[in-house]
Amino acid sequence: MIYRLFPNPELELATAPASRERLVERGFERAYENAQEIGSDTVIQHIQAIRLGGRGGAAFPTARKWLSVKNEAESIKYVVMNADESEPGTFKDRELLLRDPLGPLTGLLIAASAVGAQQAYVYVRGEYRDVEIRIQEAITVLAEAGWIGPGKVSIDVRRGAGAYIAGEETALFNSIEGYRPEPRVKPPYPTAQGLFHKPTLIQNVETLANIALLFAHDVDWFRAVGTDATPGTKLVALSGHVANPGVYEVPFGIELGALIGDGQYGGGTGTGRPLKAVLMGGAAGTFITPQEAFEARLDYPDLAKFGAGVGSGAIMLFDSTADLGRILTGLARFFADESCGQCVPCRIGTKRILELLETQRLWDRRADLKDLATAMTDASICGLGQTAANALVSAMNRPSLWNEPAAL
């Protein structure tokens, strides 16, 4: 077990998640001061040196984002923590914020000072009341530490109200601004025109926690685990047919087989039945076969060989009793329900996919489906429509998933 993003068990028992003691013991106080001292250029160089990519799913290079916002000439800028986590299989930010909220918030404040923002927002989904309370407690600790308040950065917490699409960065801006949370057409990108049309740095919770860790330690410490391509650790969320569902912190490069089968992690299906399929990365992720899962490692280049990615860190496991058609229908219903309806390819496309699945015409209409998926990927405004058919297409490309399960 490795404890970086999560505090080690002794510290977790000894200190409250939102307490001054935790802030000090975790080194976040040191991180905050260290980042102020070395200045924004060095801060961004260090982020570049650890090759940090966004941990929300898209893995965009973090340093590049920070540099773009920093270089914008506008005097008003914003930083936003995206805690609007919500799709089947993804729940790692919930766990991170509940167990160690001061890490992501320290990262947010380091971000604000590095890019020159005076106002920070935390957008948390309305279904996470327990998380929201924990964030508020943590903000009180930071105010008492004198990091936020008059003349300094201020942090506003905004609660969503049940809309998956509000997690899309530009939809999230619209939601904060008091408009319908519909994604905007990009460009302009958030780094140039984001919240209130000002340069905005928006990052996932886990990305910001990595920032706090980096400056609590240093580049070498950070790079000591993980792979060359992707240093550090990842929070993975195991769910479905798995003996020990939950969130685990693991080094990049770990064998997926270990993650799924080892007793300290997933511990196998837990049902006494063999594994049938793994959905990697999230609801718009990639289905892989058990054979592929046992060959792969948790890293971007390695998973790319199977057409998969790390995504949000969601790993959904299905045993031999799972009805793949039903699961795909469920996923299709999720996207059809959560499509904001603004752009045609997504609004119509997600509904058509659902119909094909519900009427069991998937295999007869393969060619149409392929066209539809291509049109959605090419022409949808945002990631929801662009990726909504991913899991379905990946499952259809793996005939073995539809036959008898492999014995493992």
Partner 1 sequence: MNHNSEGSGAVTAHSRDEEGGVTELQAEEHEIVVGIVSRFPRQRTWLLPVLWQVVEELGWLNPDRIEWISEALNVPYAEIYGVASFYSLFRWEPSAGPEVHVCTDVMCTLKSGDSLYDDLTRASVDQTFTVASVTCLGRCDAAPACLVNYEPVENATIAEVLERLRTLAVEKGGEQS
Interface residues with partner 1 (CB under 8 A)? 85-91, 94, 125-130, 158-164, 175-181, 196, 237-241, 245-247, 283, 316, 318, 322, 326-327, 330-331, 334, 337-338, 340
CB of 90 to partner 1, least distance (A): 7
Minimum separation from the CB atom of position 79 to partner 1 (A): 16
Give residues with Cβ within 8 angstroms of 166, minimum separation 6: 84, 123, 125, 160, 172, 175, 181
Cβ-based neighbour number of residue 41 at 10 Å: 11
Cross-strand bridge partners of residue 83: 124
Identify which of residues 50 and 336 has a Cβ nearer to partner 1 in the complex.
336
Q: Closest approach of Cβ 87 to partner 1, in Å?
A: 6
Q: Contact at 8 Å (CB) between 56 and 206?
A: yes
Least separation in angstroms between CB 18 and partner 1: 19
Nearer to partner 1, 144 or 177 (CB): 177
Strand partners, 120: 79, 155
3-class secondary structure, 144: helix
Note if the bond before 187 is cis, omega within 30 degrees.
yes
3-class state of residue 254 by DSSP: coil
State which H helix or E strand residue 349 sits in.
helix 344-358
Alpha-carbon distance of 26 to 33, in angstroms, equals 13
Nearer to partner 1, 15 or 174 (CB): 174
- Closer of 129 and 361 to partner 1 (Cβ): 129
CB of 49 to partner 1, least distance (A): 33
Min CB(219)–partner 1 separation in Å:
33
At its nearest, how many Å lie between partner 1 and the CB of residue 148? 19
- Round to whole Å and give the CA distance between 52 and 48: 7
Residue 34 or 239: the one with the smaller Cβ distance to partner 1 is: 239
Whether the CB-CB separation of 83 and 10 falls below 8 Å is answered with no
Which of 274, 271, 209 is closest to 245 using CA atoms?
271
- Nearest residue (CB) to partner 1, 6 versus 128: 128
- Residues 6 or more apart whose CB falls under 8 angstroms from that of 229 comprise 51, 252, 299, 300, 301
Give the 3-state secondary structure of 24-89: HHCCHHHHHHHHHHHHHHHHHHHHHHCCCECCCCCCCEHHHHHHHHHHCCCCCCEEEEEECCCECC
Q: Considering the complex, what minimum distance in angstroms separates the CB of residue 82 from partner 1?
A: 13
**Minimum distance, C-beta of residue 124 to partner 1, in the bound complex (Å):** 11
Q: Which residues contact 21 (CB under 8 A, 6 or more apart)?
A: 14, 15
Contact predicate 120/155, CB 8 Å: yes
Which residue lies nearer to partner 1 by CB, 41 or 130? Answer: 130
Do residues 198 and 77 make contact, with C-beta atoms less than 8 angstroms apart?
yes
Q: State the minimum distance, in angstroms, from the CB of residue 237 to partner 1.
A: 7
Q: What angle do CA 197, 202, 203 make, to 5 degrees?
A: 175
When the beta carbons of 159 and 223 are compared against partner 1, the nearer one is 159
135: three-class secondary structure by DSSP: helix
Residue 177 vs 371, nearer CB to partner 1: 177
Shortest distance, CB of residue 279 to partner 1, whole angstroms?
9
Cβ proximity to partner 1, 129 vs 186, nearer residue: 129
Based on CB atoms, which residue is closest to partner 1, 58 or 161? 161
